[in-house]
Structure formats: C-alpha cells, structure tokens
Structure 1
Amino acid sequence: MTADIKLFDRPFFGYLVSRSSIGMANTMLVMALGWHLYQLTGDAWSIAFVGLAQVIPVYAFFFVSGIVVDYVPRIWVVRGCALIEAIAIFGIAMLMIDPTPTLWAVYTLVCLHGTGRAFHGPALQAIVPNIVHEGVLDRAVAMSTTVWNTAMILGPALGGFLIAWFDRSVYFVIAGIILFALLGYALIPTFRVTHTTSRTLRSFFDGMRFVKNQPIILGGLTVDMLMVGFGSVLVLLPIYAIDVLNVGAESLGVLRSMPALGSILVGVILASRPPMQGAGKKLFIALCLFVGSILGFAVSNVYWLSLIALFVYGASDMVSMNIRSAMVHRATPEHLRGRVSAVNMLFIQTSNEAGDFRGGSFAAMFGPVTTGVLGAGIAALVLIWSRWQFAPLYQLNRTSDLKPDV
C-alpha cells in the first residue's frame, strides 16, 4: 500500500532544500566563529561563550516557541526565522571586517541568531508530518536526517576552504546560504492545525507534561542530552586542529565533516531498509560505540586516527538520532507537535550549545585532552545509569509500536 505513496513531492522537496541550506549555514557559522575567535584570543572561553549565547534564547523562549509553532502556520514561522538568522549573520559579517571586532557585539548577534533558531528548530520538526503521508513517515524522517547530515558534511568541508580563501568575509557567504533556504520554503503551502482546546496557562506546559508521561520518549531525550552534553568533542575541534594536530582551516573542515559522513552512511542504510526491529537493543550498542569514539578522539594526536574516531562518532549518533526522532513523531498527537518539538529542541540544544559551553570552559580550565577523556567517562556513567533508569527504552522493538495518546 505504501509503495503508491509519494515521498518526494513538491513540499517535501522544498523542505529538504531548506533544511540542508540551514544545516550548512549553521555548521559553517559555528566552525568559522570557533576558528576566528580562537585565533584572535587564544582562549577557549571565547568559543565557550558562543555556545552560551546560542543556548540562552532556547531557554528564554522555550514556552513561547512551542505555542507559536502550534498556533501560527508553521511555514510562516520558518520563513520568518530564516530571515532573522540571515540578518544576524550579516551583522556578524560587518563586525568581523574589523581586525579587532568587539566581542560582546559578536556574542549579541550570535544570541539573535539563536533566537531565530529557538523557533526555527521546533517548527522544522513539527512540519514534517504535515507534508508527508503517515505511511512513509519513518522513511521521511530517515531521509530528512540524512539530508541534514549531508549538509553537515558539505558545510564544514566547504567552510574550511571558504575560510582559507575569504577569511572573515566568509560570513557574507553564510548569510546568503540562509537566504537561499527561503526558496525551498516557497514550495511548502500553508497548513493550519485544528485545536480542540483553548490557549490557557495550562496549555503552555502541555508539551512538558506529555514528555514526562512518556517514559520511552523521556528516556531517549534525557540520555541523548546528557551523553552529548557532557561527551561532545565537536566544540574542541578548532583547539585540536591548532594545538594538538597542528593542521589548518581546510583540515579542520574535514575533521568537522567526518561525524556527518558517518551519519549519512548510516542514514542512507536506514532510509532504504524496512522499519528497524529491536530498536532498543541497537540503540544501546550504538551508544556504547559513541562512548568509545569520544575516548578514541580525545587521546589521538594522529590526524587520520582522529578522522576515524569522528566517523564512528557520527555513525553511532545517527542511530540514536533516527530512533529518537521516529519515537517523537510517532507518539505525539498533532495538536501538540509544536510544544513537544519545543521540548525536544530544548533537550537537543541543551546537549549541543550548552555542551559547547561545557566543552569550551572545561578546555580552558583543564586542557582539551583531559576534557575529552572526562567527557567519555561521564558519558559511560550516564549510559550505565540509563540502563536501569529507563529500562523500557532499551526494550522497545519498533518505533511504530508507539501511538499518539489523544
């Protein structure tokens, strides 16, 4: 029956174009800021504050973003957010023309960019079930994640060369890529969600309440947040490139692309296969590999070994990401998608941006190698703890077994 259902229709194609553009621009921005700020200051705190500036809006607008995504047409939200992000990056580009830019102004514009992302991320997640048929939802999630990770490869790889060629003028290119996403969004029509309840103070907390009452979803989000938040090594890459591996901006771009290369390989496999069986057991194995890859990268001072470790890092994380995304899409009622997506993005961006602040600050205090080893150890402890704290998560057979509680 699902063989006759079209996956690559006009709206979904537009979505993929836009999501890949946004992904490329965001990874290029973070990598470029990490490279230039560390070159300017030689201080890991300068990188840590980029993560802090990005995550503050996520917390500040958490409740508002979910309501907006549920009650305002989601395509309007993503278009507006793309415009805000492009303006912020253009402002950063103007500041970085100065040989000694005012750092507080840079961080302020990074915060503005993060404000756009605080609404953009939940809207991008929530819009997928509106533009694809339920029969191909798992494939759409896998394909969407694969396209995202393709952008994670192209963004840093291209970004490394663009930094080498244009140096600080690269931010103008990044702003242009964000604007290109608006062309893809033009292919997506306006969808309105019908609500059976009114907007009350209680409704602001419905997303959190829903996740709290779903132990499998809560477990998946919590484990990812803690393991990535304490274990991620991506923020350390500019420091490793300059101080440990002694390589240039082009090689940094390749380093930053390797996790996404691992992710896309696994994503293509998942998208071409039937729904995963034994999802919980495979998730645990993937998380064990994730811990091992963090430790391997942390202790490596050989470039090609670091590349291999980062490839495994991305490949194992893709399994977790795919299972987690499918669980959220499958179990969430339509009228709660925006608020649940906001909760999901709160967990994701806490692990990523707050994790970047943690990694940068730890590197400033303990050095990059010690930070990486500590991250691997903490991630291992989180995995052991989650085995009994969220036992149903690792007993899950298929994500399609989860149904919305309406």
Structure 2
Amino acid sequence: MPPLFKIPNFVHFWIGQIASSFAFQMLSVGIGWQMYDLTNSPMALGLVGLCQFLPQLLLTLIVGHVADRYNRRLICVCTRFSMAITVGILAYGNMTSSISADMIYICAALLGTTRAFEIPANQAILPNLIPSELLSRAVSAIASAREISVIAGPALGGLIYLLGPTTLYLSSMSCFLMSCVIMFFLHYNFTVKSKSPISMKHLFGGLSFIRGNKVILGSVSLDMFAVLLGGATALLPIVAKDILHTGPWGLGLLRCAPALGALFMSVYLARHPLTHSVGKIMFVAVAIFGIATILFGLSENLILSMFALVLLGSSDMISVVIRSTLVQLETPDEMRGRVSAANSVFIGSSNQLGEFESGVTAAWFGVVPAIIIGGVGTIAVVGVWTYLFPSLLKRDTLDKENH
C-alpha cells in the first residue's frame, strides 16, 4: 500500500473523489427524503432514478467519444461545476418555497446528464496516474475513498436535513465546488492517441469491445442484473419511515450501512489484492448480495437491517473491484473513454434504473415483497450466468497475461 500513496497525482485524485462522492451522497439523502415527503409515492422515488439514468443511456456514444478525444481532467472540472450549479437550483427552490416534484425531476435529469460525461472521463484517468501493477490496489483505494464519503455523507446529510433542505443542498454544492477546484490543479498530461475520423464504428467501439470480450461482458452484465434486481436503495426512505418507524437520521444510517461494509472490504482488498480464483469469488459474492437483500427485506429491526446492508455492501464491493480492474486492464488506453462510457451504462442500469424497478415493483406488490423478489432474482441470475459465461467462472487472475 505505501508505494501507491507515495504517488502525488494519485493522492490528489483520491482526495477529489472523496469530495465529489461526499457531495453526491448527501444530495441523495436530501432528494430522496424531500421527494417522498412531497409526494408520499414509491413511484416518484423510482422516477427520480429514471430521470438520472435516461440521459446516461441516451448519451453513451457521445460521452465515450468526448472522453477519448478531449482532456479528461477538464471534463471532470466542468461537469462537477455544473453539478454544483444544479444543486444550487434546488437550494434556491427551497429558499423561495418554490420547490416541487417537477423541479426535483428536472434537476435529477441535469445531474444525470453531467454525470454521464463525468463518469467515463473520471474512470479513464486512473490508469494514466499509476503503474498497471498497482491498478487493482488503486481501484480498491478509490473505492474506499468513495465509501468513506458514502458512510459520512448520508449520516451527516440526514442530520443536516434536520436544519432544513436548503442547508443540506448548500452543503452538497460546497463539496462539489471543492472537488472541482482540486481536479483543476491535478497534474495530468492528456494526449489523443487516436485521430481516426468519427464514424459509427468509432462511436460503437466501446460496446463492440465489451461484446467481443466474454470475461468483461460476463462481469459487467452479472453486476448489472444482480443490482438491478437486488438493489433496494430507492426504497430506503419508505423502509425507514413506514417499516422501521425512524426519521431522517435513521435513513442516513441505513444509507451509510452498505458503505460501511464496502469500506471494510475495499481496505482489505487494497492490502490483500485478489490473486486467484477471481471468477468464482465474484459469483459467490453476488450470491451473498442476493441473500443479504432477502434478509433486509424480512427485517423489521433497525440493527438487523443495518447488518444486512453491511453484508450487502461488502459483497458488492468484491464484485465492483473485480469488474473495474478487469475492464481497465484489458482495455487499450485510446478506447478507455468509450469502454468506460459503455460500462457506465451497465452501472447506471443497476443503480438508477434499478431504483425505478424497485419503485415499480413496490407500487405493484408492496415494499417487502419487492425487496425479497429482488434478492431471489439476484440468486437466480448467478445460476444462469455460471452457464452462460464459463470463461468468467474459470478466470483465475485479474491480469489478462496470466489467466
């Protein structure tokens, strides 16, 4: 671990990630609680996730091209500044008592648009900052930075919300601006390695690369369908208020519980990188994710619910590290923007679209049945994927040269 944190650029990047993730996680608590408070509708919570996901889906080809052709550091700076402005709109809406569900939907769509450009550029920078042999540890360290903010962000966000949503949104905006400044001073020399003319083949290059690599396709699709079915984070405001009978502080604790498990696991993996049987480990981790989801759905106790979410977060982190490392190691640098953009669609599907799916199933069947059905579906996906992607199941190491 010490060699990794002796690299100044990586440390700089790592701190910027904490600030940005801290801002977004606090914002998620505020938007979720305020939307449910305004509408009392599970469907409304799901629509917030859909508003964030659709721009990412529609802009996939464009944002990948932008990340491969233009300075990735400046893309991150501009997008994080745009997110700060968007959160400022929410703060203004609360200060003037003009906040509404429609305003939140519009701002969610704006956030989804800016994140669509930020995610592939941000992911494609990392391999250029460190030696390839440290990439697995770096992915774990970046994940730990994100989870630190995910733990502190929702918990603090729930407490700040007690002072009013305006205070929460202004706090989130400040963190986005801080991350923007940090990224502006990051030392990063970007050069365009491919100047081929823009064509449909070029724009679809990321999707074509993933489709042609069974290991990458299997890992990203397994993670997508598992979290799409098993992710219940969109329902946390309902679980906190109607099942566990707690307030915003309880919602903050529930939101930070998965991050706590993910943090412990990311720190462990940063110090003890996976070296063998990574395919089998990934399948087992996703199965545990499904089991933890079912346990969470059955729980009516805050402590037990938090335990289930800690287990869920730690198992998900194993899958995230394996998938992210495989994608970065097996992708040429001149294609990382487009591949990362395509990969972000899978991630977005499992998160934002998963929130929409959870909202719909909760509206149809009820909150508890929706969560349990999702967990069972996750376990079923693991069984099907072992048959569809045997090369992923048999994958021994992360390094493509040694498998």
TM-score w.r.t. structure 2 length? 0.96
SS at match of 1:400: coil
- Measure, in 2, the Cα distance between the counterparts of 1:333 and 1:276: 22
1:384 alignment partner in structure 2: 383
Amino acid at match of 1:50: V
In 2 relative to 1, CA 72–240 (structure 1 residues): closer, same or farther, beyond 3 Å? same
Amino acid at match of 1:341: S
What are the equivalent positions in structure 2 for 1:4-19 lying under 5 Å apart? 7-19=5-17
- Measure, in 2, the Cα distance between the counterparts of 1:188 and 1:234: 36
Q: Is residue 31 from structure 1 mapped to residue 13 from structure 2 by the alignment?
A: no
Please provide the CA RMSD for this pair.
1.7
What are the equivalent positions in structure 2 for 1:342-357 lying under 5 Å apart? 342-357=341-356
Task: Return the match for 1:109 from 89, 107, 110.
Answer: 107
SS at match of 2:187: coil
- Measure, in 1, the Cα distance between the counterparts of 2:189 and 2:86: 26
Runs of 4+ in 1 over 6 A off after TM superposition: none
Q: Is residue 321 from structure 1 mapped to residue 323 from structure 2 by the alignment?
A: no
In 2 relative to 1, CA 350–192 (structure 1 residues): closer, same or farther, beyond 3 Å? same
- Measure, in 2, the Cα distance between the counterparts of 1:395 and 1:173: 46
Residue-by-residue CA offset, 1:152-191 (whole Å, 9 max, x unaligned)? 1111111111112334431111111111102321223342
Question: Is the 1:74–1:190 Cα contact (8 Å) retained in structure 2?
Answer: no
2:186 alignment partner in structure 1: 187
Unaligned runs of 5+ in 1: none
2:41 alignment partner in structure 1: 43
Question: Is the 1:229–1:350 Cα contact (8 Å) retained in structure 2?
Answer: yes
Question: Is the 1:7–1:136 Cα contact (8 Å) retained in structure 2?
Answer: no
In 2 relative to 1, CA 402–359 (structure 1 residues): closer, same or farther, beyond 3 Å? farther
The count of aligned residue pairs is: 402
Question: Is the 2:144–2:266 Cα contact (8 Å) retained in structure 1?
Answer: yes
- Measure, in 2, the Cα distance between the counterparts of 1:99 and 1:40: 12
What are the equivalent positions in structure 2 for 1:119-158 lying under 5 Å apart? 119-158=117-156
- Measure, in 1, the Cα distance between the counterparts of 2:106 and 2:223: 28
2:240 alignment partner in structure 1: 241
Unaligned runs of 5+ in 2: none
1:334 alignment partner in structure 2: 333
Question: Is the 1:7–1:140 Cα contact (8 Å) retained in structure 2?
Answer: no
- Measure, in 2, the Cα distance between the counterparts of 1:41 and 1:97: 19
- Measure, in 1, the Cα distance between the counterparts of 2:64 and 2:388: 28
1:373 alignment partner in structure 2: 372
Identity %: 31
- Measure, in 2, the Cα distance between the counterparts of 1:305 and 1:395: 35
SS at match of 1:132: coil
Deviation at 1:4, TM superposition (A): 9.5
Q: Is residue 292 from structure 1 mapped to residue 291 from structure 2 by the alignment?
A: yes
What are the equivalent positions in structure 2 for 1:182-221 lying under 5 Å apart? 182-185=180-183, 186-195=185-194, 197-221=196-220
Residue-by-residue CA offset, 1:3-59 (whole Å, 9 max, x unaligned)? 995544222112111111111111221221111111122111221111011011101
2:221 alignment partner in structure 1: 222
Residue-by-residue CA offset, 1:263-284 (whole Å, 9 max, x unaligned)? 1101111101144211111112
Question: Is the 2:280–2:393 Cα contact (8 Å) retained in structure 1?
Answer: yes
Q: Is residue 85 from structure 1 mapped to residue 83 from structure 2 by the alignment?
A: yes
Q: Is residue 53 from structure 1 mapped to residue 58 from structure 2 by the alignment?
A: no
Residue-by-residue CA offset, 1:198-228 (whole Å, 9 max, x unaligned)? 3322100110110000001000011111110
- Measure, in 1, the Cα distance between the counterparts of 2:69 and 2:195: 12
- Measure, in 2, the Cα distance between the counterparts of 1:267 and 1:73: 29
Question: Is the 1:45–1:360 Cα contact (8 Å) retained in structure 2?
Answer: yes
Amino acid at match of 2:378: A
